Every structure is written in structure tokens, then in C-alpha cells.
Chains A and B, each alone.
Chain A
Amino acid sequence: MEARGVTCRFGDKVAVHKASVRLFPGQIHALVGENGAGKSTLLKAMAGAVVPTEGEVWIRGQRLDPATPAEAIRRGVGMVYQHFALVPSFTGMENLMLGVEPVGLLGWLRPSVTRARAEEIAAMTRLRVHLDVPAASLSVGEQQRLEILRVLVRGASLLLLDEPTAVLTPGEAQGLYELLRRIAKQGAAVAVVTHHLEDVSRYADQVTVLRGGEQVFQGAVSEVTTAELSLRALGEIPAVKRPTAVGGEAPELLVVVGLQAEGLDVKELRVRRGEMVGIAGVDGNGQEALVEALAGLRPARGSQRLGGCELAGAPPSARRAAGLEVVHGDRHRFALLAGATIHDNLVLGDLGPDEEAKVVRRMAVSGLIPADPSLQAGTLSGGNQQKLVMARALDRAPRMLVAAYPTRGIDAAAAAQIQQRLVAAAEGGAGVLLISGDWSELRTIAHRLLVMRKGRVVAELPPDVREQELGRVMLEGS
């Protein structure tokens, strides 16, 4: 398979510019780059899910035409998306069949045909998935294996995976790469989008580096070191320093005791003034519940005191009045009205007589470009949306800031700016609770790490803990 000079434009934004990639059977090819570098777009173009503005995709010496997912699937391309494309209520079997149903008379389904094929593949690749329960009840890793099994059942010999390890722990990621290696050995070509540069050196054969849509490097993995890759992919990023350490005499600000809610059971959680506490854990282990409970959006039992003021049962507005500000991870669900203007979003929740002044001030702090508050917030990039939300939260001068995944899905420069804001807030005397899926972020700026698993805080670790150790605790508890 080959992509020749692929350029993808969305409006006047160039996502990928003249990229060329060749995939060979038996090899794993890594596409790396920071968020927004265009690696996912390039992958989608190869799967027919995005039509390139210029350039062509060739499969086994023939041009992909028409450039549609259906045609790509027919030619043996199998794409595993970042957000799994499974129907949650369907069983594994139903998901395997969907779109390529083996049928008898009058469209009658014959699951046994698909099952036989699935078992054959499972035997060859040692890929095991429970096929008779709804996909929604599978763990994230199992869902991913189901997706891979699905593309294989469809006869894919070109396997494209978009950020497959983003949702996995290090151990699971290793298992995934071993599986991909076995699949490649059966004669498939595999392409993986990732931003874990260590994984590239460890598991891939070929690597393509994208930066701002430009292809800046391509070659065998053996030719480059991880450090070189990093420089090429990310460039120089200003280092963010941890806030100054707080002593034991700093007064406790947030004291949570016996917090219980749906999916949450936290015995104790304390944050001091000026302290940055990190929450680590595999996604979906109660972080969401913790943030929602602290925000007053999820009914919870137990005590939540902020500077001596009991917040249990208080609505979001009362919590804000007490000095608590929450920056939610799911922007579109909790933080931003995509259909309203930037102006309205900047004053959402504290609309008052000083509206104009607030908008001007927050606009300046956010550093949004273009600086036009009458634009719809939905037209902003993810990074700019996050800057807007952050500027609004910090302008309210909170005593305690809870930030959930504040840098998720945004580019490295914007992420560094947001991390800098968090550090500045802590140095200004606020307590910060940082929930993040980015371990290096947590290890860089938090004073201490709390590990969450199945809704509980299972361990407290120092920020300089080894990555493997952190991963082990996240999976096993202690």
C-alpha cells in the first residue's frame, strides 16, 4: 500500500501537506507527531474515510477509486479508529457481522459462518475475545481486540490503527504490539499512529514523522534514536517547572472524607494551599465520578470541606461562591456551548453588570486568536476552546481548582501554556487537583500522585516514580 503526495485541506486549514507513505507486508509502520500534526488525517485518507485534496492512495498497484471506506474495505484495508466504532448494545458476534453479514434466504442471518471464521483467526493469532456479551460490557482493551478481530474477519491484510495505545496501560500496550507482530508475521501490513515515541523504537520497523502537516522524516526505526525522533516530532517545547514545594505547615484547603457516589468510593483526599495534587489512573476508574461529585453534578455522600466550609449537597453555583472552580474534561458536555458565541461562553454562569469588562479581560488572558468574541465557540480548535475555558475559570480567582484532562487532545504548545497557568495558580496560593491521563504531565508538575482504581484511591506515589511502577499500580492496585 502506498500514499503518494497526499494533501488534505479542510476549509483553508491544511491538515496534511504532500505526505507519502509506503507499507510493506510483515512490517509495522509507525506514524508519529504531536496532536494536530495530521497523522490521523493521513491514516484516514489511506482508509478512504477522508478524500485527499491532492495526491492518491494506491493498494497493490491499483489506485483507490472511488476513495470511500467501502471500497477500501473491499481492497483489504481494515481501520481501527481511536474512538471505537462498535455498536455498544450489540454482542461481539453482532458487531463482527455488521456490514458483512453472512445471510441465507431472505436476508436471514447465519452467525455460525462468522463464528467459524473468527475462531480460525483467533487460533492463528491467539486473539481471544468474549463474543456473546454486549460490547459495552467489555473492558477497553477487550473492545480494542474485538475491533482488530473484526477487521481481520473482514479479510483485512492492511491494518491501520489510530492511537491504539492511548487507552491502554503499558502492559496492555505491550500485549497489543505483540499481537500486531503476530498478525504482521501472517503477511499483513500494519500502520500505527502513536505519540508514544518509546513504543516506536521498541516495536516498529519503519517510522514516518509528521509535524504541522509536513512530513519531516521517514525511514527505518533502526536509523534513529528516540531523542532524535522527539526533536523532529515536537521541536523545542518550553519546559514547565513544578510549582515550588509546599511545606507541611501550609493549611489544608480541600478535605474530602468518605466520599461515596455511583462508581466512586474515596476514603480521604486532602489538598493544601499551593499544592498540586495529581490523580493518575486508567481512564474510567472513577475519575469522572470524582470530578462530577466535587462539581456538585453527581449526588454523593460524605464530607467535602473547602477551607472549613461544608460543600456536600451544594449546587455548582454555591461551590463557586465558596471558591471552587472545576475545569471539566468533557468540554462539550460541561464547559462550552459550541452553538453560542465566544462572548457568551466567557461569561457563562457569572453574567452580571460588569459583563463587557469581564469579556475584555478574559479574552486578553486567554490569548485566543482570532480575538473576535462574536465568533461561535464551536468554530475554535480544541486547544483554543480549552484556553477559553481555562481563562474563564482562572479569572474567577478560585481558591481551589479542579482540572480534569486539561491538555487532552490539544497541541503541545497550547498544552504547555495551560500547564504553565496551572503552575502559576498553585504558586499564587490556590490548591490544584489535576486529573490527567498524560503521565509525563503528572510526573512533571504534580507534587504528589494519587492513583485511582475502580473508584478508589489505591496508592499515593511520589512524582519521580518509575513509569513501569506507576503502570503496575494503576492496573493492580498496590
Chain B
Amino acid sequence: MSGQLTTFVAEAIRMAVPYMACGLGAVLTERSGVVNIGLEGALGVSALCAAVGAIATGSGLVGLGAGVSGGAFYCLLHGVLVVRARVDAMVSGIALTMAAYGGGRVALRLLYGSASNSPKVPGLPGLESTSAVLRVVSEPALLVFGVAAGMLVLVLERTRLGLRLRASGDNEAAAEAAGVEVGATRLWASVLSGVACGLGGVHMVFDQRQYDAGMTGGRGFLALAAAILGRHRPGATLLACGGFAALEAAQIAWQDSLKLAPELVRLLPFVATMGLLMRGRSGMALARGRLWR
């Protein structure tokens, strides 16, 4: 493989994790009827928790646990606000994103005395290899995410919780009439979605061996768009996430040979999504569930 192509493949796989994590998180929460536009914040919070946990104990495993818990807690908080406190899902999503961003900066200042990034984070050991692709693929956080993603999809499609989750989002009244506790189901869905996003945050931190305040870079928002483009089906959504990752990777691999300014290249996924949204009424998929018509 040529150098650029290797870089492209390695980067695409690496970049895909946060996208896919949030995409899967979006599918899980929205299929249950709770729209969460704050997944960007979930990514950031779990990254911060992973960094803090790993730095404080020196253990990557603790970091992993802390990151996943942080993401799950964040999404559960959103679920509680929306389901129990009847806060508009959009309001809660945007407020929690703001709080996550501000909270991240505050934590960096108070804990590490830095305005923008954490000290080096001890991650989990991967394979030492000369092949960039192999190094990326053997990153333990990526492997954990891969296994968890598979399990979450199975939960959604093959278990009681998944069945009830889908029923709650698709026809709340029917689910209630069938004896499903819709509120509780939605809270569980929020937790699952937080776990998915959490693994994305953990991967970003372990992969870069540090946390910085702006590291999520809008990927959580794009993942929402990916879920819409994938019509909230896990397979199609993950594919769309892969597409975003490939765009981002291509920009890194071929940035020297491109004539475009890097800012403009970075816009590509956003502009491409706008174009795709023009295709049809797919945007309305975000409207599923009674919480957001």
C-alpha cells in the first residue's frame, strides 16, 4: 500500500469510532422516543471522565470505566430531565451540551491548571507494530467499542428491552396499552445510548493520550445527521458514520496534494450532509416519538 493510502485507511478506522459511537447512541435513544441533540456533550463528558479517571489512578481500565459511566450518567440525566421533569428534549440537549463544554473547561482549570488540555493520559496498551493500520485496529478501546457496538445492536433487535424500546418510540400509546412502562424504558435507552457515546469518548482520549477541550469537534452533531441519513437503522447509520470518518481521513491523508484551504476541507462533511438532507423528507426522522413532533 502506498503511504497515503495506508494513512487513509488507518485514519478512517480511527476517526470512525467517535462517529459510530454517537451514531449508535443516537439510534438507541431516538428509537425509544427521546431525541438527544446533546450527544456531542456526551462525547466530551466521557472523554473528560476517562482522562481524569486514568490520570488519577494511573490505570487505563479505571479510565475506561469512568468514561463509560460519565457518558451513561450524562445521557441518563438528559433522559430524566425529558421524561420525568418534562423539559423539552431540544432545550435539555442544548443546555447539557453547554454545561458539558463549560464544565470541561472548568475541570481542566481546577484540576490541571490548564486552559485547554490535560496532561498525558495513561491508556491501555495496544500492539507495537510498524503497520499503522494494525496499531489503530489493536487499540483496546476500539476493540471494546467494537464488541459493545455489536452487543448493543443485538440488544436493540433481539431482546425484550430492545423490543420495548422500539415500541416506546414508535407508538407510545400502544406500548403503554401492552403493559410497557414507557418512561422507564426510555431511561434505560438513555443509559445504553450513553454507554455507546462513552466508549467513543474513551477511545478519543486513549487514542490521543490526552484530553483537550475542543477535541469532539462537532462529531456528535454529525452523528445525529448520520442517524437521520441512516433512517435510525443501526447498520445504515454506522455506514453513514463510516462515510463521515472517511471524509475526515481523506482530508488528513491527502491534505498536501489538495489545493483547498484546510478550513474548507474540514467543512466537507457538514456541507455534504446539508446536500444529503436535501434529498428527501428524511429529516423528519428526527421527529419520531411524541417528545418532538
A binds B: yes
How many of B's residues come within 8 Å of A, CB to CB? 19
Q: Out of A81, A103, A107, which one reaches B177, CB within 8 Å? A: A81
Contact of B158 among A73, A100, A109 (CB under 8 A): A109
**A85 and B173 in contact, given A98-B167, A99-B180 (Cβ under 8 angstroms):** yes
B171 on the A face (CB < 8 A): yes
Interface of B is mostly: helix
> Does B164 sit at the interface, judged by CB under 8 A?
yes
- Which residues in B have their C-beta under 8 angstroms from that of A107? 155, 159-161
> Which of B158, B159, B171, B180 is close to A88, meaning CB atoms less than 8 Å apart?
B171
Q: Which of A69, A87, A90, A106 contacts B179 (CB 8 A)?
A: A69
For A101, give its contact among B155, B160, B176 (CB under 8 Å): B160
Q: Nearest Cβ distance between residue A273 and chain B, in whole angstroms? A: 41
Can you name the residue of chain A whose Cβ is closest to the Cβ of B174? A85
Within 8 A of B (CB), among A331-387: none
Q: Is A97 part of the contact surface with B, judged by Cβ < 8 Å?
A: yes
A-chain residues with CB within 8 Å of residue B176 when the two chains form the complex: 69
Bound CA–CA A89/B170 (angstroms): 7
Interface status of A156 (Cβ within 8 A of chain B): no
On whether the beta carbons of A73 and B173 are closer than 8 Å, the reply is no
- A99–B178 contact, CB under 8 A? yes
Q: Which of A49, A94, A98 contacts B180 (CB 8 A)?
A: A98
Of the candidates B166, B173, B176, B177, the one having the most CB atoms from chain A within 10 angstroms of its own CB is B177
Least CB distance from A446 to B in Å reads 35
Q: Is the CB of A88 within 8 A of B160?
A: no
A94-B163 contact, Cβ under 8 Å, with A87-B170, A88-B170, A99-B178: yes
A472 to chain B, nearest CB (A): 33
Q: How many A-B residue pairs have CB under 8 A?
A: 61
**A90 B166 Cβ-Cβ under 8 A:** yes
Bound state CA distance, A85 and B175, in angstroms? 8
B174 touches A87 (CB 8 A): yes
Residues on A with C-beta less than 8 A from B160 are 101, 103, 107, 109
Question: Does A86 have its Cβ within 8 Å of any Cβ on chain B?
Answer: yes
Q: Which of A90-135 contact B (CB under 8 A)?
A: 90, 94, 97-101, 103, 106-109
**Which chain B residue has the least Cβ–Cβ distance from A98?**
B178
Contacts of A97 in B (CB 8 A): 163
Q: How far is the CB of B153 from chain A (nearest CB, A)?
A: 14
**B155 / chain A contacts, CB cutoff of 8 Å:** 107
A78 → chain B closest CB, angstroms: 11
Name the residue among B159, B163, B166, B173 with the largest chain A CB count within 10 angstroms.
B163
CA gap between A97 and B158 in the complex, in Å: 12
B159 touches A103 (CB 8 A): yes
Q: What's the least CB distance linking B156 to chain A, in Å?
A: 12
Q: Does A70 interact with chain B (Cβ within 8 Å)?
A: yes
Report the minimal beta-carbon distance from A154 to chain B, rounded to whole angstroms: 9
Within 8 Å CB of A90, what residues of B? Answer: 166-167, 170
Cα distance, A88 to B288, chains bound together (Å): 13
- Closest B-chain residue to A101, C-beta based? B160
State A101–B175 Cα separation when bound (angstroms): 13
Q: For the complex, give the distance between the alpha carbons of A267 and B217 in Å.
A: 57
* A99 & B179 in contact (Cβ 8 Å cutoff): yes
- Is the Cβ of B173 less than 8 Å from the Cβ of A70? no
Residues on the B chain within 8 Å of A84, using CB: 174
Which residues on the B side are within 8 Å of A99 (C-beta)?
164, 175, 178-180
Using Cβ atoms and an 8 Å threshold, which residues of chain A touch B177?
A: 49, 69, 79, 81, 85
Q: Are B170 and A98 in contact (CB under 8 A)?
A: no
- Chain A residue contacts of B163, Cβ below 8 A: 94, 97-98, 101, 109
Q: How far is the CA of A86 from the CA of B173 in the complex (A)?
A: 9
CB distance from A180 to the nearest CB of B (A): 20
**Interchain CB contact under 8 A, A106 and B170:** no
Whether the Cβ atoms of B158 and A87 lie closer than 8 Å is: no
Residues of A within 8 A of B178 (CB): 85, 98-100
CB distance from A163 to the nearest CB of B (A): 16
Taking a contact as CB atoms under 8 Å apart, the answer to whether B164 and A106 are in contact is no
Cβ A73 vs Cβ B179 within 8 A:
yes
Considering only CB atoms, which chain B residue lies closest to A108 in the complex? B159
Specify which chain B residues have a CB less than 8 angstroms from the CB of A73 in the assembled complex.
Answer: 179
CB-contact partner of A87 in B159, B161, B171, under 8 A: B171
Given contacts A81-B177, A86-B174, A90-B170, contact A98 B164 (CB under 8 A): yes
Q: Are A86 and B171 within 8 A (Cβ)?
A: yes
B132-176 CB mask vs A (1 if < 8 Å, else 0) is: 000000000000000000000001001111011011001101111
Of residues 45 to 62 in B, which have CB atoms within 8 Å of A's CB atoms?
none
Is the Cβ of B179 less than 8 Å from the Cβ of A100?
yes
Give CA–CA (A220, B206) in the complex, Å: 77
Query: Within the complex, what minimum Cβ distance (angstroms) separates B116 from chain A?
Result: 43
Chain B residues near A94: list those with CB within 8 A: 163
Chain A residues within an 8 Å CB radius of B164: 98-99, 101
Residues of B within 8 A of A (CB): 155, 158-161, 163-164, 166-167, 170-171, 173-180
Known: A69-B176, A97-B163, A103-B159. 9 other contacts (CB 8 A): A81-B177, A87-B170, A87-B174, A98-B164, A98-B174, A100-B179, A103-B160, A107-B159, A107-B160
Q: What 9 A-B pairs are tightest by C-beta distance, nearest first?
A: A99-B178, A99-B179, A85-B177, A107-B160, A107-B159, A85-B174, A101-B160, A98-B178, A87-B171
Instruction: List A residues at the B interface (Cβ < 8 Å).
Output: 49, 69-70, 73, 79, 81, 84-90, 94, 97-101, 103, 106-109
A-B pairs with beta carbons under 8 Å apart, 11 shown:
A69-B176, A69-B179, A84-B174, A85-B173, A85-B174, A98-B163, A99-B180, A103-B159, A103-B160, A107-B161, A109-B160
